[in-house]
Amino acid sequence: MSINNITQNLENTSSQGIDWSLIQRDMKNKLGTDIYDSWLRKIDFIEEMNNYVLLSVSTRFIRDWITSRYLDQILQIIKRYKKDLTRIEFKIIEKETDHAVKDNISSNEKDVNVSFIKDTYLQYNRIDPNKRFDNFVTGKSNKLAYEASLKVSENISHYNPLYIYGGVGMGKTHLLNSIGLSLKEKHKVMFISAERFMYQFVKSIKSNDMVRFKEYFRNTDILLIDDIQFMNGKEAMQEEFFHTFNALLDKGSQIIISADRAPNKLSRIQDRIKSRFAGGLVVDIQKPDAELRNNIVKQKAEELNGFYANQLNISEEIQKFISTEIKTSIRELVGALNRVVSFSRIYDKSPNLSEVKVVLKDLLNIGENKVTIDLIQTTVCKFFKISKNEMLSSRRSRYLVRPRQTAIYLTKILTSKSLPEIGREFSNRDHTTIIHSVKTIEKLKENDLEMTNNINNLKNQILYNKENEI
């Protein structure tokens, strides 16, 4: 747009309402056709107030997406036409056409829509035929969760919702899978991760397919959602999940949820959702004790013997060693056994104890504490005299930012976790935030002796449990 045209538009609109079509044209030119068609086209003009303009979009998600990425640029474009406007306000107005379409869909048409979207969603259905109740090894740490899951598979809505929580690799996914496997022949079953639910939610908004999204998820008989903690901070998705949750309960569908912590410990999840979770049966899976670990290794070794044509001989001594030394999770326990079995098959020999120690060297933690993110976070919080909730919060007070950056830096250098993995453990922070934190501490160490000493002292406590050095 030329200078003369801008001037003319300013003169024309100084005493009258702005022309939204001109704003739309400029948004498209400035921000690009793709962005405009995907997001900005969805904005409707409502009215111009004293010093701001009131716009509308159909969902909170679209509003949050636009305001976080394009609000300043949109305001600049608007101010070119009327400089007195200093801010933008959004109102959520659900499109009437959505209701009209939904109301006018016949029963047969609805079936077609569900079938259509089913092809999209079922490719992400995570049901694994190898994760069954009959190969889930039980012990004191997981007995209650197992019994509750079995009861639900025999009588849906017996415990509704069923909420299973525990650390990574403890068997939560196995139990959800077993429930889905038991019920899928007679019921519509959807087994999906929270991350995948979020992906499909965003995809449906972008493609204007929310009606079909809702139709599909609200017509399932059994909804299993894994790792619900990944919904934290996603307000728009939580809103949709809340309504889906209520719709399923109202029609008597069974909901089973897994998470890495109890409902009341979930961060940045709406209180009303946590209340719904707590209103059902909440069971936990604890770390496996020595007896359970031994039984798991024994059973998995037998399964592997039956799987391979040439018999494997993993001695009782080796099995005992693995179950004794690998204490963190069932997943790592089975993974360790698989490594030893692979070694045996590659070299066509039964490994001795020394060879096993070499094969499992990165998993073994003989004579020192294993470094976990939780240990790092706890140690740093104790050092700086703050709570873990404060560290993981979104607050940016200086007394919280530096400990948070320190914990992130120590996690990066003391663990093998990737940047996205570290971000997830720090309340789903973006990997760019993780990079910035690491670089900040590295720079401070170069010129700040106190920071260097703090880092060294913290490392000593984390690695060697030397509290007296702090």
pLDDT, tens only, 106-147: 434 333 333 333 334 443 456 778 888 988 999 999 999 999
Taking the chain (470 residues) in runs of 10, the rounded mean pLDDT of each run is: 44 58 88 82 85 83 76 84 80 59 38 35 60 89 93 82 90 92 88 85 84 84 90 86 90 91 89 92 91 89 67 81 86 86 80 84 59 90 90 87 92 85 90 89 85 85 59
Asked which of 324, 359, 394 is the last residue of a domain, the reply is 359
Contacts of range 369-373, beta carbons closer than 8 Å, 24 or more positions apart = 369/462, 369/463, 369/464, 369/465, 370/328, 371/414, 371/415, 371/462, 371/463, 372/328, 372/415, 373/411, 373/415, 373/417, 373/422, 373/425
Residues 323 and 384 in one domain: no
pLDDT of residue 308: 59
- What are residue 200's DSSP bridge partners? none
pLDDT of residue 377: 92
pLDDT of residue 125: 55
pLDDT of residue 114: 34
- Domain-located, residue 265: yes
Residues 165 and 314 in one domain: no
Residues 86 and 149 in one domain: no
Contacts of 309 (CB under 8 A, 6+ apart): none
pLDDT of residue 314: 81
Residues 202 and 277 in one domain: yes
Number of neighbours of residue 225 by Cβ within 10 angstroms: 24
- Domain-located, residue 111: no
Asked which of 336, 359, 382 is the last residue of a domain, the reply is 359
Q: Record the tokens describing residue 249, joined without a space.
A: 């309960």
Asked which of 47, 70, 92 is the last residue of a domain, the reply is 92
Residue 288 near residue 142 (C-beta atoms within 8 A):
yes
Q: Record the tokens describing residue 33, joined without a space.
A: 């056709």
- Domain-located, residue 110: no
| Complete DSSP assignment for 198-260 | HHHHHHHHHTT-HHHHHHHHHT-SEEEEE-GGGGTT-HHHHHHHHHHHHHHHHTT-EEEEEES
- Domain-located, residue 448: yes
Residues 254 and 345 in one domain: no
Residues 50 and 75 in one domain: yes
pLDDT of residue 306: 62
Residue 109 near residue 99 (C-beta atoms within 8 A):
no
Q: Work out the burial of residue 99: count CB atoms within 10 Å of its CB; fewer than 13 is exposed, 13-18 middle, 19 or more buried.
A: exposed
Domain extent, residue 384, equals 373-469
Q: Is residue 459 helix, strand or coil?
A: helix
pLDDT of residue 468: 40
pLDDT of residue 466: 53
Residues 129 and 254 in one domain: yes
Residues 48 and 173 in one domain: no
- Domain-located, residue 113: no
- Domain-located, residue 112: no
pLDDT of residue 176: 93
Residues 270 and 318 in one domain: no
Task: Please report how the helices 431-447 and 398-414 are oriented relative to each other, as an axis angle in degrees rounded to 10.
Answer: 100
pLDDT of residue 18: 80
pLDDT of residue 67: 75
d(CA 317, CA 297): 12
Q: Record the tokens describing residue 454, joined without a space.
A: 């703090």
pLDDT of residue 310: 59
The CATH code of the domain that includes 265 is: 3.40.50.300
Sheet holding 87-92, edge to edge: 44-48, 52-57, 87-92
- Domain-located, residue 175: yes
**Count of domains observed in the chain:** 4
- Domain-located, residue 451: yes
pTM for this structure? 0.54
